[in-house]
Amino acid sequence: MKYNFNLENDIVSLKYKDKEFSFKVNVKLISEMQGIVMEARKKMLMDIAKTGQSIKDLTIETRENGKVYYDNSNKLELEKIYQEELTIDFFNKKCEEYFNMDLATLMNDIGLETEDEGAKFSNDFISYMSGNIPSRSTNKS
């Protein structure tokens, strides 16, 4: 067992090696997590506007057989990049707040060595932060 998350009475605890950390899940935390998507969109739109473009410039319009088709994949891909950046920043801040170290240092301290182990830990952390328990405890890896 490399680590174990547990949620009881809105308190999430993380145990690994001989260390234990805990934090409270509350409406403010969940609201902050939900705000990442909106904040990413806002930042993206502001950055696009700074270049003199608009969101419409990311949409590819094609016409076939008298019909107009819109491809928003460029906008969605750019939005995804902004969301990933803000999500990483958010979780690094929360790791520093809860565990007194950034996410990469925490995963290294736990002993997570592969990308899959890191991804699983990140998903577990996100689930517990939002109050969604993936299983009663996570002690795989």
Cα gap 15→99, rounded to integer Å: 11
**Residue 141 belongs to some domain of the structure:** no
Q: Residue 29: which residues within 8 A CB-CB, separation 6 or more?
A: 129
**Residue 24 belongs to some domain of the structure:** yes
Query: Is pLDDT of 136 > 60?
Result: no
Pair type for strands 11-16 and 60-64: unpaired
Give the residue among 37, 17, 24, 58 at the shortest CA–CA distance from 129: 24
Helix pair 73-99, 27-50: axis angle to 10 deg:
140
What confidence tier does 135 reach under pLDDT thresholds 50, 70, 90?
A: low
- Structural domain that includes position 120: 4-129
Q: pLDDT at position 134, please? A: 61
**Residue 137 belongs to some domain of the structure:** no
With 0-12 CB in 10 A as exposed, 13-18 as middle and 19+ as buried, what is 67? exposed
Report the amino acid identity of residue 71: D
What pLDDT digit, counting tens, does each position of 29-70 carry?
A: 888 888 999 999 999 999 999 999 999 999 999 999 999 999
**Residue 91 belongs to some domain of the structure:** yes
Cα gap 125→115, rounded to integer Å: 15
Report the amino acid identity of residue 13: S
Q: pLDDT at position 97, please? A: 93
**Residue 135 belongs to some domain of the structure:** no
What confidence tier does 78 reach under pLDDT thresholds 50, 70, 90?
A: very high
Q: pLDDT at position 141, please? A: 46
Query: Is pLDDT of 138 > 50?
Result: no
Q: pLDDT at position 18, please? A: 93
Query: Is pLDDT of 26 > 70?
Result: yes
Domain total for the chain? 1
**Residue 63 belongs to some domain of the structure:** yes
**Residue 139 belongs to some domain of the structure:** no
**Residue 140 belongs to some domain of the structure:** no
